[in-house]
Chains A and B, each alone.
Chain A
Amino acid sequence: MTLPFFPPDLFEADREALLKIVHEVAVSPDQKFILGTRTAELERALREETGAVDVIACSSGTGGLNLSVAALGIGPGDEVIVPAFCCQPVASSVANAGGTPVFADVDPRTMVLDPADTERRITGRTKAIMPAHVFSIMADMPAFLDIGRRYGLPVIEDAAVAQGAVLGDTAAGRWGDLGVFSFFQVKAFGTAGEGGVVLTDEKDLARRVRMLRNHGQDGVHRFRHHVVGQNSRFDEVLAAFQLHRLPTFAERLERRACIADYYTERFAPLADRGVLAPPPGRDGRCYYVYSLLVERREDLRAYLTERSIGTHVYYPVPLPRQPAFAAWAAPEGCADDDWPNAQQVSNRNLAIPIWPHLTDAQVEYVADAVCDFFD
């Protein structure tokens, strides 16, 4: 049995549908390939699904963060607090706009942005906070909304990995003033290419994001460019493919959650052996990635590789420790242990396969192998 971490057959069941869609869109009489009726229909469907006042499709999750940062007018001199342990776009979306990403530490168990450390880093230059959901766990959004309210700061919710999660009564993506989903292929609602959406309940922000994604145009006056916009659009082939996949999305999410339930139960006894499974449960959870925290990570990784089980270390180095962001890491001579939790989870995170098309036998095989390692 070989279980690659990144399966090449994610869309095998949809291959014929994809071919049909490519053909249909290409020969369609409207000859409209970008931001057309299918994109509008997907936006409508996702508004319905999430309850958001507006959903705006764009070129990727990163594109969504770029649009959100631009919609808030963040630029030189402005600080945005972002997690030190995360994917690069939380920092690059701010840095590329000329702003300053300020890195805050994460929770050592859940690996998401720590509200207390976030609050500690607020200054008079702070213009927004950007919590991100990580692996299977949503950030503590009530706490960030509270901070945002108290300091008058907008919240950009990086929900790139959490589409479908619900915390309390509120869907991921809808907690922040702006929320972002990614359709990168391995994401829960991944697609056969690049894409994403911005969600917001604020009409003025929605209007700005819509203009920004298409060269600053308002959708009425062609070639009138109100603001310096970007090209961050979504295409009709992928919109049709996402509409095709949407009805079965909940089913796939549920399958992922069931696999996670099983893993978490199997791994509970390993807690005193240096393996921390994510906390059990469904509230505020989306099992996009199932990542363990493992003291002897490299040993376990090698053991699983020998058994043909693919694993992945998503973030081996905290963002402020990567050369790209060194310039923003210690502007005021912060101590080297400024992000101790980010450093520790970078050393210990190890993701194991959780694809919805894994069979029960494959899931058991993975769980057995992890448990065997500690026997």
Chain B
Amino acid sequence: MGAPTGAPATAGGSGGPAAQLTRGVPFFSQAASFAEIWPSVARHVNDVADRGKYSHGRKVGELEKALASYTGARFAIGMNSGTDALVLLLRAVGLRPGEEVVVPAFSFVATATSVSLARGRPAFADIDPVSYSLDPDSAAAALTDRTRAVMPVHLFHQMADMAALGELASRRDLVMVEDSAEAIGMRWDGRHAGLLGTGGVLSFFPTKTLGALGDAGMVLTDDPEVAERAGVLRHHGRLGKTIDHIAGISNLSGVSGTNSKMDDIQAAVLMAKLTRLDRDIARRAELAGAYGKRLRDVPGVLRVPDVVPRAAETNPVWYVYVVEVERRDELVEHLAGHGIGTETYYPSPLHLQPCFADLGYRPGQFPAAEAACTRTVALPLYPDLADVEVDVVCDAIRAFYAGRPGRSA
């Protein structure tokens, strides 16, 4: 360790040798763990080649079974992406054109565009400033007589307040769907995220806690009718057997669907990665703990992420480690100068995005979401990250606020 190449090391400590790393710290990498699981990936990819069906095939079916078992969902339906999974879930629950779905103003854009793509209308509400998820009071205030559903997002590392939101949904007779794209492994009172209402989704975008090598996603539901509809919609609305059955491409269409078939190569990668998911989740928690310890008292760091106590037992899964800081954009630049990757999740709230200008929202309507957008930044967090790299990141942050910008790249 301490070599100029910055080979991963596990020793802790702050400053000293860590500061000598010259490689920098990428925002994300899974190269080292992928190399470890390669024999298993190769075996699964060979299965796919043996079978000879490269999308919506047998390996996708295997992955659906494996994730149904992991999450406890009765049905897991593979899709081309998390975004598609949201769109087709909304269609599968029967959202009609013009109906409104309440979503938080602070999230990835697909939370809201999925509603538009399903021909509904997103109705924005503010977030709770600590959990970054849909604020139940603000959600209640967003309801109109056109509201059909409420869609909380489990953002970054913990679930939304599903007790209060579930109560709101049942009191107002709304469909509850969850944008659980980031929430694999999170459970609420023993139930996996996505299964608290009518259905949810998983995204397997490469940086996700369970990440593929391309886009892939899934719908989770316990409802057989929703599962049936979502399963049909992803394959052009075709009825009858289609998965692992290529001749199904000429089946009759019962509904105007689309092509959101998952690639079997992605399913193969995910099957291999799934075996180490729990270990990866534990490693992420370790790293998050290390960041918290090192950053909590750094001047300029306004907030390190907290786990909010809830009415039911629920567990964090550290997908993204977001801190709130002063002079955020300057810090991002400073870190980039030291080869440290960050992501600004998210620089602009959804209600003020140009794509939703026609909905007529104004600045100031959702202060917590708007404030978060000026202060949040995500730091590198992935199982391949070495302890010493956490030190490097934290040292660089401390140096920035101490007015010691240090070496620039």
Q: Known contacts A223-B347, A225-B355; is A34 also within 8 Å of B214 by CB?
A: yes
Q: Kindly specify which of B8-16, B28-36, B142-150, B188-196 makes contact with the partner chain.
A: B28-36
CB interface residues, A 251-290, toward B, < 8 Å: none
Docked pose: A191 CA to B206 CA in angstroms: 21
Q: Are B259 and A8 in contact (CB under 8 A)?
A: no
Closest chain-A Cβ to B326's Cβ sits at a distance in Å of: 21
Docked-complex contact B257 and A324, CB < 8 angstroms: yes
Which residue of the partner chain, among B30, B54, B113, B253, contacts A325 with CB atoms under 8 Å? Answer: B253
The yes or no answer to A331 lying at the interface (CB within 8 A) is no
Interface string of B277-304 (1 = CB under 8 A from A): 0000000000000000000000000000
The residue from A96, A186, A224, A315 contacting B354, defined by CB atoms under 8 A apart? A224
Q: Which of A12-20, A201-209, A298-306 contacts B (4 or more CB under 8 A)?
A: A12-20
A209 to chain B, nearest CB (A): 16
| Among B28, B237, B263, B346, contact of A88 (Cβ-Cβ < 8 Å) | B237
Instruction: Evaluate contact between B354 and A226: CB separation under 8 angstroms.
Output: yes
Take A193-B54, A226-B355 as given contacts and tell me if A12 and B49 are in contact as well, using a CB distance cutoff of 8 Å.
yes
Inter-chain CA distance A66–B34, complex, in Å, is: 34
Q: CA of A226 to CA of B247 in the docked complex: distance in angstroms?
A: 40
Q: Smallest distance from the beta carbon of A7 to chain B beta carbons, Å?
A: 7
Q: Which residue of A lies closest to B91 (CB)?
A: A96
Given A7-B52, A237-B265, also A26-B109 (CB < 8 A): no
Closest Cβ of chain B to A310, distance in Å, is: 9
A-B contacts counted at CB < 8 A amount to 200
- Knowing A59-B215, A185-B55, A324-B237, say if A231 contacts B81 (CB, 8 Å): yes
Contact B236–A88 (Cβ < 8 Å): yes
Does A140 lie at the interface of the complex (its beta carbon under 8 Å from any beta carbon of B)?
no
The verdict on B168 contacting chain A, using a C-beta distance below 8 Å, is: no
Q: Are B30 and A26 in contact (CB under 8 A)?
A: yes
Expressed in whole angstroms, the Cα–Cα distance for A62 and B74 within the complex equals 29
**Could you tell me if A92 and B236 are in contact, using CB atoms closer than 8 angstroms?**
yes
Complex contact B109–A27 (CB within 8 A): no
How many Å lie between the Cα of A76 and that of B236 in the bound state? 20
Chain B residues whose C-beta falls within 8 Å of the C-beta of A233 in the assembled complex = 81, 215
Q: Is the Cβ of B256 less than 8 Å from the Cβ of A325?
A: yes
Q: Which 8 A-B pairs have the closest CB atoms?
A: A8-B52, A235-B214, A193-B263, A62-B259, A324-B253, A231-B83, A95-B256, A26-B34
Q: Are B45 and A31 in contact (CB under 8 A)?
A: no
By a CB distance below 8 angstroms, the chain A residues around B347 are: 222-224
- Residues of chain A contacted by B41 (CB below 8 angstroms): 22-23, 26
Contact A231 B256 (CB under 8 A): no
Is there contact, CB below 8 Å, between B355 and A216? yes
* Chain A residues in 8 Å Cβ range of B55: 184-185, 193-194
Chain B CB count within 10 A is highest, among A60, A62, A89, A193, for A193
- Would B254 and A324 count as touching, CB distance under 8 A? yes
Interface size for chain A: under 10, 10 to 19, 20 to 34, or 35 or more residues? 35 or more
Q: In the bound complex, do residue A237 and residue B109 qualify as a contact, i.e. CB atoms below 8 Å apart?
A: no
Q: Could you tell me if B253 and A228 are in contact, using CB atoms closer than 8 angstroms? A: no
Q: Does A28 contact B (CB under 8 A)?
A: yes
With the chains together, A268 CA to B97 CA distance in Å? 52
Residue B46 is within 8 A (CB to CB) of chain A in the complex: yes
22 contacts between A and B (CB under 8 A): A8-B52, A18-B49, A23-B38, A60-B259, A63-B259, A88-B238, A192-B48, A192-B265, A193-B263, A193-B264, A222-B347, A224-B347, A231-B82, A231-B83, A231-B84, A231-B110, A235-B215, A238-B265, A313-B250, A314-B250, A324-B237, A325-B253
User: Residues of B contacting A93 with CB < 8 Å?
Assistant: 258
Query: Bound state CA distance, A189 and B222, in angstroms?
Result: 39
Q: How far is the CA of A66 from the CA of B83 in the complex (A)?
A: 15
List which A55-108 residues lie within 8 A (CB) of chain B.
59-63, 66, 76, 87-89, 91-93, 95-96, 98
Report the bound CA distance from A60 to B249 in whole Å.
Answer: 14
Contact digits for B351-381, partner A, Cβ 8 Å, 1 yes 0 no: 0011110000000000000000000000000
Contact of A322 among B45, B109, B253 (CB under 8 A): B253
> How many angstroms between the C-alpha atoms of A193 and B117 in the bound complex?
24
Closest to B237 in A: A324
| CB pair A215 B110 closer than 8 Å | yes
User: Which chain A residues border B109 with CB–CB below 8 Å?
Assistant: 215-216, 223, 225, 229
Interface string of B254-272 (1 = CB under 8 A from A): 1111110101111001000
**A228 and B117 form a contact (CB under 8 A):** yes
Choose among A26, A91, A227, A313 the residue with the greatest number of B CB atoms under 10 Å from its CB. Answer: A26
Known: A31-B30, A33-B212, A323-B254. 9 other contacts (CB 8 A): A19-B46, A22-B45, A88-B236, A89-B236, A91-B256, A185-B55, A192-B48, A216-B109, A222-B344
